[in-house]
Chains A and B, each alone.
Chain A
């Protein structure tokens, strides 16, 4: 779509949406949200960017092919489940470390890395679908 208004607002909107998607992803640990919905918000951002500047611009901005991102996410999620093998706990058991960074206790968990994996799978898989659908429209 060739619209000056959209092209002006899109960078601001897209960066806000990606930021919000990461916020939703991290918030999901204890409150509504999580990797799946966060990933969907990120894909919505990518779609808007694609509508404004074309699919090629999105692919360049992503650097990696969406399927590669999905594969990396799946790998991260699987490895998060396997970490517990080193600590004598069953598969997929959540394990925690709470390092103190700048005087703040930050709880990190394999649950979180699993959720980041889910986020990447959704961004990659749904992103691939959305981008190829937009490409079809560009062709028509």
Chain B
């Protein structure tokens, strides 16, 4: 081996990596290792929750370390097994990936804490926690990888884990939702794979930094427009953009509420991240050519999502449409493609992860207290669930984009960027979407929270009498906890534990709303890194642009 005639130093990284470089792979390695451990411990459901939450807390810390390392010294790269591109797989984290990864891990931690009181022994035996950790491995891997085929692999990892999470409970409607979700997502991943095959045929490399520096040279000779269109379509489907988003409202209300919160917080945002990575960094010229299409799709997504939310009578379905509407706002930033617009999209992504995750968890608690997820069937939650109602009101304001909460700033950035670009109709769509969302959430809050309950004592057949379209099995799934507007009875610690993650995520939303400068500055850095990726390329190839 030592007498090899080939000079391997051209193909191998010879320098030892810094200790800080390990921050790029450790989030993924940690999640996979914990997932493996929890799979081995499947016979010990009592241990699983604590271990998973501990590991998610470490994941948040690792991501905080990664963000601070990147903000100090730029993008970080680690080459797997020393092999340089185009041979090896690179893990490259820049500010965009690290920000998404951090907020994703925060949502996962909140969902993990919530799940301690929500996932029963049966769900644990079905493997909720291993699936949760492997889902996080897929999500972290997608945000941190620097190789487009590797990105596909992480999409598969998170997709398979999400199938597992979706059918925990094995109810008919869950299987039904999982089939729709699974089929359409498989179509999108297959398109992604086909596009990546074409891309490899054209470029001879799969490393994203390598593609980014070569793309301009190929633009006249290779069918890059086709590639970019395929990517926009595949990732648009993943992100739930308008014409191809019907899988989301059809499936997101079926799994356990904590699973819905994870999906709403994480999965569509992985699609947005991949759109930013391919559209802004790899194929900027082609994305500019498609910007009219993307803008139209964005407007339709915003408006159809908000109108869909107005029309819903099920709390969870309403939230599904709110997720869709937010995706439209993020697509608006993608269609503009300027640094300000992309920064707006990134801030919106962070806001949407935190707030949508928190909203699903909050609605889970509301549904538990009301005994139904029908908006019309609930009532008087304000009287009985004061802390929860206050948190939900804040989250509704945030998701509608009202100041002083986190939804306001990204919307402002996007509207400003749209006006600066002369796209007044896009700005108008953003504002109308926010207005419609305000009406939808206001209606929800008025009916389910503020309207006095006709029968003050729950459980005397009051809410049940007004139940519409709910089967008995749906009721049976909601544990009949007593309302906890009064002092918590002993033994109901799970209630407080469930309220805590909602409160923390809401606090994060308020903090971002009141003091947005650090996040906006980080998002600007991230957007600049995507628009002019010379630092990203330099971190892979060592300085040479």
Chain A residues in the interface with B (C-beta under 8 A): 65, 67-68, 70-75, 78-79, 81-82, 85, 88-94
What 10 A-B pairs have minimum CB-CB distances, sorted nearest first? A71-B39, A88-B16, A74-B36, A75-B36, A71-B40, A92-B81, A92-B80, A91-B25, A71-B36, A78-B33
Q: Does B13 make an interface contact (CB < 8 A)?
A: yes
Q: How far is the CA of A73 from the CA of B36 in the complex (A)?
A: 8
A-contact bits for B56-91, CB 8 A (1 contact / 0 none): 000000000000000000000011111000000001
Q: Does B42 make an interface contact (CB < 8 A)?
A: yes
> Taking the nearest CB of chain B, how far is it from the CB of A124, in angstroms?
9
Contact status A72-B36, CB under 8 Å: yes
For chain B residues 13-30, which have a beta carbon within 8 Å of chain A? 13, 16-17, 21-22, 25, 29
Could you list some 15 contacts between A and B, CB below 8 A?
A65-B43, A68-B39, A68-B42, A71-B37, A71-B38, A71-B42, A74-B35, A75-B33, A75-B40, A88-B16, A90-B13, A90-B78, A91-B25, A91-B29, A93-B82
For chain B residues 130-173, which have a beta carbon within 8 Å of chain A? 130
Q: Does B202 make an interface contact (CB < 8 A)?
A: no
Contact for A70 among B17, B21, B22, B39, CB less than 8 A: B39
Task: Knowing A74-B35, A78-B32, A85-B22 are in contact, say whether A68-B40 is a contact too (CB < 8 A).
Answer: yes
Q: How far is the CA of A35 from the CA of B85 in the complex (A)?
A: 25
Contacts of A94 in B (CB 8 A): 81
Q: A74-B32, A91-B81 are in contact. List 7 more A-B contacts (CB 8 A).
A: A68-B39, A68-B42, A75-B40, A81-B29, A88-B16, A92-B81, A93-B81
Contacts of B37 in A (CB 8 A): 71, 75
Q: How far is the CA of A93 from the CA of B17 in the complex (A)?
A: 12
Task: Knowing A75-B33, A90-B81, A94-B81 are in contact, say whether A65-B22 is a contact too (CB < 8 A).
Answer: no
Contacts of A70 in B (CB 8 A): 39
Contact status B17-A90, CB under 8 Å: yes
Contacts of A89 in B (CB 8 A): 16-17, 82
Contacts of A88 in B (CB 8 A): 16-17
Contact status A90-B82, CB under 8 Å: yes
Task: Knowing A82-B29, A91-B22 are in contact, say whether A74-B80 is a contact too (CB < 8 A).
Answer: no
Contacts of A73 in B (CB 8 A): 36
Main secondary structure of the interface of A (DSSP, over half): helix
Contact status A71-B130, CB under 8 Å: yes
Main secondary structure of the interface of B (DSSP, over half): helix
Contacts of B79 in A (CB 8 A): 90
Contacts of B38 in A (CB 8 A): 71
Contacts of B80 in A (CB 8 A): 90-92
Contact for A65 among B21, B42, B82, CB less than 8 A: B42
* CB closest residue in chain A, given B21: A90
Contacts of B22 in A (CB 8 A): 85, 91
Contact status A78-B36, CB under 8 Å: yes
Contact status B29-A74, CB under 8 Å: no
* CB closest residue in chain A, given B18: A88
Contacts of B78 in A (CB 8 A): 90-91
> Taking the nearest CB of chain A, how far is it from the CB of B256, in angstroms?
20
Q: How far is the CA of A124 from the CA of B17 in the complex (A)?
A: 34
Q: How far is the CA of A81 from the CA of B38 in the complex (A)?
A: 19
Contacts of A65 in B (CB 8 A): 42-43
Contact status A74-B39, CB under 8 Å: yes
Q: How far is the CA of A133 from the CA of B407 in the complex (A)?
A: 49
Contacts of A82 in B (CB 8 A): 29
Contacts of B29 in A (CB 8 A): 78, 81-82, 91
Residue from A71, A78, A90 whose CB has the most chain B CB atoms within 10 Å: A90
* CB closest residue in chain A, given B39: A71
Q: How far is the CA of A74 from the CA of B39 in the complex (A)?
A: 9
Contact status A72-B40, CB under 8 Å: yes
Q: How far is the CA of A137 from the CA of B40 in the complex (A)?
A: 27
Q: How far is the CA of A93 from the CA of B21 in the complex (A)?
A: 15
Q: How far is the CA of A79 from the CA of B82 in the complex (A)?
A: 17
Residue from A81, A89, A92 whose CB has the most chain B CB atoms within 10 Å: A92
Residue from A70, A78, A85 whose CB has the most chain B CB atoms within 10 Å: A78
* CB closest residue in chain A, given B16: A88
> Taking the nearest CB of chain A, how far is it from the CB of B9, in angstroms?
14
* CB closest residue in chain B, given A69: B40
Contacts of B13 in A (CB 8 A): 90
Contacts of B35 in A (CB 8 A): 71, 74
Q: How far is the CA of A94 from the CA of B8 in the complex (A)?
A: 14
* CB closest residue in chain B, given A110: B81
Contacts of B40 in A (CB 8 A): 68, 71-72, 75
> Taking the nearest CB of chain A, how far is it from the CB of B402, in angstroms?
44
Contacts of B17 in A (CB 8 A): 88-90
> Taking the nearest CB of chain A, how far is it from the CB of B33, in angstroms?
5
